[in-house]
Structure formats: structure tokens, C-alpha cells
Amino acid sequence: MPASPSLILASGSPRRSELLNEYGFDFTVVPPDVEEIEDPEIPIEELTRINAKLKAEAISEIHGGDVVLAADTLVLLDGRALGKPADLA
């Protein structure tokens, strides 16, 4: 009988790991090594989809038979996207 696919979290986000742990998921964290797109001409909703897909595709190349979960978050303030924080502070 073939092994069940593993769940791969394509993120280095501690909060995303925490959420999956809270709901009892068994998963492996594999942060993707991709350069996210930052383009003010692309609508925010589309930009987050593009970046999440880039992350998922990068990890799927390595873990092709597994289930890959990827996401992207952007914060808007007064209609402008804020960049990712440089650190936890």
C-alpha cells in the first residue's frame, strides 16, 4: 500500500505553524526560497495569490507527491501595502 502524502507547510511563519499545531495537523515546515514579487501596479489580492503560488510551486518541485500548503499576507494601511517586517520587533 503506498504511503499517504505528507503535509508540507511552505512557510517559515511561526504563527502558521502554531495554527496547524493547534488543530492537530501533522506537518513538516519547509520555508520556500523564493523572491516575492512587490509591484504597486498589481492589485493586492492578485499579488498575494501570485506570491502564494510561487511558494507552493517552489516546494512542490521538491515534495511532488505531498500536499503543500502555502500562503501570503499583506497588510494595508490607508490603502497602501506595508512591507514584510524585518524582524519581530
What amino acid positions are annotated as catalytic residues? 72
Give, for 19, the enclosing helix (H) or strand (E): helix 14-22
CB count in 10 Å sphere of residue 46: 11
Cα 81 to Cα 89: distance, rounded to the nearest angstrom? 19
Cα 15 to Cα 25: distance, rounded to the nearest angstrom? 14
Q: Which residues pair with 10 in a beta bridge?
A: none
